């Protein structure tokens, strides 16, 4: 929690569209005064008006960049289907399991699909190598940022539960990131106990870190092997079998040929067929 700073505006990219993009960005510019700092992770050119290069041209030294947390190493089976702004929705929102979606569109039963959540299959699919791959990518991205956070993040991963999903950090990560940002801006940071810090992502989807992944990466903690969904008036926790069943039901409602065309371009789908047959 920052003691000498006021957040005057923020932009949530998840709710940014071509229709409101220019209005939202102009509102941000209007709120900028002489001592304002704009913190942003690096945004690519696909979002032209809010791309980091464009923001830098307008804001100059007022723009301070930091790492966007996207780390597949603890959740190597997670994936998106479709580009940003056009994600294909399924049982778990825009999150999909590579194994489950590949199994469904290759004709496996739910029971046979569940058997694939196995260390031998994980190894053949390269899931155990994803931690080192994701670490390298995150450090490379961090190199282009003003505030370096990747090293801190990676040092915390094995010690404390750090991710709800591959891109949703837990409160302890946000707390550490805020400390870094405040330090950069020369603002005093009040380090309240993590229990005092609200993190709305805890009410969203939570993907389990399976024991074989935890063991492979020497995590000092273990998580329950349950999927958590943001449902109301029903149990939020789902076993693997319940998760697979829900995914299969949602995929039955898809245009099969269209989805197969999309999946045919995915490396994980081809790899699945090589490993599973």
Residue written as token pair 């993907």: 207
Q: Sign of torsion, CA 157 169 11 51?
A: positive
Specify whether 109 is located in the same domain as 226: yes
Please indicate, yes or no, whether residues 56 and 102 belong to a single structural domain of this protein: no
Quick one: pLDDT at residue 130? Answer: 97
* Model pLDDT, residue 277: 81
Looking at 66, 93, 109, the residue that finishes a domain is: 66
**What is the Cα Rg of the chain in Å?**
20
Q: Same structural domain for residues 97 and 46?
A: no
Q: Is 76 helix (H, G, I), strand (E, B) or coil?
A: coil
Same domain, 53 and 158: no
pTM: 0.88
- Please compute, for residue 166, the number of CA atoms within 13 A of its CA located in the half-sphere on the CB side: 20
Out of 17, 50, 66, a domain closes at 66
Q: Which domain holds residue 50?
A: 1-66
Tokens of 71: 């780390």
Are 39 and 136 within one domain?
Answer: no
| pLDDT value, residue 19 | 66
Same domain for 169 and 230, yes or no, is yes
How far is Cα 41 from Cα 57, in angstroms, rounded to an integer?
16
**pLDDT score, position 191:** 85
Q: Going from the first residue of the chain to its last (277 residues), give the mean pLDDT of each consecutive group of 10, the final group possibly shorter.
A: 59 64 72 79 72 82 89 97 87 96 98 98 97 96 93 96 96 92 87 83 94 97 94 80 97 95 96 94
149 and 97, same structural domain?
Answer: yes
Boundary-marking domain end, from 48, 66, 84: 66
Residue 168 bridge partners (DSSP): 165
Beta strands in 129-236 (DSSP E): 163-165, 168-169, 227-228
Please count the structural domains in the chain.
2
151, 62: one domain: no
Tell me: do 131 and 220 sit in the same domain: yes
Residues 59, 132, single domain; the answer is: no
Instruction: Measure the N-to-C terminal CA separation of the chain; round to a whole number of Å.
Output: 52
The answer to whether residues 64 and 147 touch, using CB atoms and an 8 Å cutoff, is yes
**143 and 78 part of one domain:** yes
Paired with 65 in beta bridges are: 40
Question: Do 57 and 122 fall into the same domain?
Answer: no
């Amino acid at each position: 929690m920052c003691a000498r700073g006021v957040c005057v505006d923020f932009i949530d990219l998840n709710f940014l569209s071509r229709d409101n993009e220019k209005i939202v960005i102009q509102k941000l510019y209007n709120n900028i005064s002489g001592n304002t700092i704009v913190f942003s992770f690096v945004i690519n050119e696909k979002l032209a008006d809010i791309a980091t290069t464009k923001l830098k041209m307008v804001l100059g030294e007022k723009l301070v960049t930091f790492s966007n947390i996207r780390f597949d190493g603890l959740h190597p089976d997670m994936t998106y289907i479709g580009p940003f702004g056009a994600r294909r929705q399924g049982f778990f929102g825009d999150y999909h399991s590579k194994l489950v979606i590949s199994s469904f569109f290759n004709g496996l039963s739910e029971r046979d699909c569940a058997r694939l959540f196995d260390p031998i299959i994980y190894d053949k699919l390269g899931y155990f190598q994803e931690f080192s791959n994701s670490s390298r990518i995150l450090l490379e991205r961090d190199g282009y940022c003003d505030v370096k956070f990747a090293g801190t993040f990676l040092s915390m991963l094995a010690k404390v539960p750090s991710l709800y999903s591959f891109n949703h950090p837990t409160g302890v990560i946000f707390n550490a990131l805020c400390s870094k940002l405040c330090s950069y801006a020369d603002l005093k940071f009040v380090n309240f106990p993590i229990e005092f810090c609200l993190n709305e992502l805890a009410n969203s989807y939570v993907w389990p870190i399976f024991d074989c992944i935890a063991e492979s990466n020497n995590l000092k903690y273990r998580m329950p092997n349950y999927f958590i969904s943001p449902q109301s008036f029903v149990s939020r926790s789902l076993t693997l079998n319940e998760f697979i069943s829900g995914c299969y039901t949602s995929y039955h409602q898809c245009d099969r040929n269209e989805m197969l065309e999309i999946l045919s371009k995915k490396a994980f789908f081809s790899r699945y067929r090589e490993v599973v047959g």
